[in-house]
Chains A and B, each alone.
Chain A
């Protein structure tokens, strides 16, 4: 029964990674850049939600919506100000800029909200136990776990439907393959990239709220480690692939929790990255990443 408990918390943590990884992977797929500031958008989302609920006593759902809205705008603004001017620059310049944006967000958060930890409100603790008990109380699944996993599945399905069936979604896939050809089709590449950042950052806000609901200490660096883990998850699953990010996130969460439970808490991150290295050695494109077979 213990194992099942660990597995469920692994899937739950993995769902948060997956939601973050989806944003990473979409931005990488379309803008061909690693947005290292993505993790810090999570932190901003969590702070916005925290202040909305704890300071201004707004209803939790409204707090989450506000966080999503602000992060969406933040994502678009970051892209416009920091990345768009570098569209033609070498990728290393963009990468360094992304790291700069990441530190900028962390330091801005420190200045605005201090580095004192905030305790994120647990707004999903209904009833006495805050969850469902199974097998006569041996297995407890908290509501936040259920909400996290459900949110992740819904988001993955929604994104798959969006990129597969809508005009904008297809334009994104076209841009991710060949921006020049996409322009020749009449697709506005800048708009498409903006929409991608908007979606990714909105998802980051949701991930931030879910993450802090499960691990309620909120500091300006809250987003950086999950951001790096989610990036790992995206690479693990095959960067650029939506189902890959989902699978990579879940696996990463499960491996991390099981390693913590059965091997060593200190070594868990090392084990996670060791697994990543082994996977990449065997399959360099990640679990679901496909090299394109180009016929000429």
Chain B
């Protein structure tokens, strides 16, 4: 299996605060990899560093064999790395379809095909395509955020807390969609606080604590690990 994403010993600072203290991990092509951990462990910071919104002070990030640590965020999408940000961050004043068009901003060739693909994955979005983003329900907004990221036809999709703020039934739905996307060939890096759900779909998992990776293994191994059970699975 070839590594599509390789993060090597990155250190990220917010001013004087050392937020990420030497994190390394890999995502192989076709995998679902999850990064779990408590609030404030540095999961979102790690993702934002990979997608270029934040810069690592040291360490390396390679995507498809090329270093991307110094590439501006808007150029990273073009290379096939899309992020579904924490809190969804859809464009609330734009219509569903316009949101999706923004997702295809760097994709000049097959916007129509990409739209068809996303609407096939999320029929709900098609029904609401003329609606303003801000009027969607939380679950629909999460679907829109995921659909928007898919519009660039990414090789790797990074999802940041897709279950945040959603009712349990919607969480299950979102995870079904993630499993589906994976089945259709999208490689996924998933950041979650909902460790149980995340571990149930993941091929491999990393546990983050205060800016470091403390444990790693297959999804099953970690789900069975006493430490993880105690800290994250409520038992």
Residues of A within 8 A of B (CB): 167, 170-171, 173-174, 177-178, 180-189, 292-296
How many angstroms between the C-alpha atoms of A184 and B79 in the bound complex? 12
- Docked pose: A171 CA to B72 CA in angstroms: 17
- Docked-complex contact A185 and B92, CB < 8 angstroms: no
Residues from chain A with Cβ under 8 Å of B94 in the complex: 170, 173-174, 177
Q: Is B9 an interface residue (CB 8 A)?
A: no
5 shortest interchain CB distances as A-B pairs = A186-B106, A186-B77, A183-B73, A181-B89, A186-B105
Interface segment, one of B131-139, B213-221, B225-233: B131-139
* B positions within 8 Å CB-CB of A: 51-53, 72-75, 77-78, 82-83, 85, 89-94, 98, 101-103, 105-106, 134-138, 141, 148-149, 152, 165
**Partner of B92 from A177, A183, A189 at Cβ < 8 Å:** A177
B165 touches A184 (CB 8 A): no
The answer to whether A295 and B77 touch across the interface, beta carbons within 8 angstroms, is no
Tell me which of A180, A182, A185, A189 has the highest count of chain B C-beta atoms within 10 A of its own C-beta: A185
Contact A167:B92 (CB < 8 A) given known A184-B51, A185-B148, A189-B74? no
Taking CB atoms, residues of chain B closer than 8 Å to A173 are: 91, 93-94, 98
Q: Assess the B101–A294 pair: CB atoms within 8 A.
A: no
With a CB–CB cut-off of 8 A, which chain A residues contact B51?
A: 184
A180 near B102 with CB under 8 A, answer no
Instruction: Give chain A's interface secondary structure class.
Output: helix
**In whole Å, how far is B63's beta carbon from the nearest beta carbon of chain A?**
14
Query: Could you say which of A167, A171, A177 has the most chain B C-beta atoms within 10 Å of its C-beta?
Result: A177
- Please pick, from A167, A185, A292, the residue contacting B134 in the complex, using a CB distance under 8 A: A292
Residues on the A chain within 8 Å of B103, using CB:
185
For residue B92, which residues in chain A have a CB less than 8 angstroms away from its CB?
Answer: 177, 292, 294
Q: Is the CB of A171 within 8 A of B91?
A: no
**Complex: A182 Cα to B73 Cα, angstroms:** 10
Which residues of the partner chain B approach A180 to less than 8 Å between Cβ atoms?
Answer: 53, 85, 89
Which residues of B have CB within 8 Å of A183? 52-53, 72-74
* Residue in A177, A181, A295 whose CB lies within 8 Å of B93: A177
Bound together, the chains give a CA A181 to CA B92 distance in angstroms of 12
CB nearest to A240 among chain B residues: B93
Contacts of A181 in B (CB 8 A): 85, 89-91
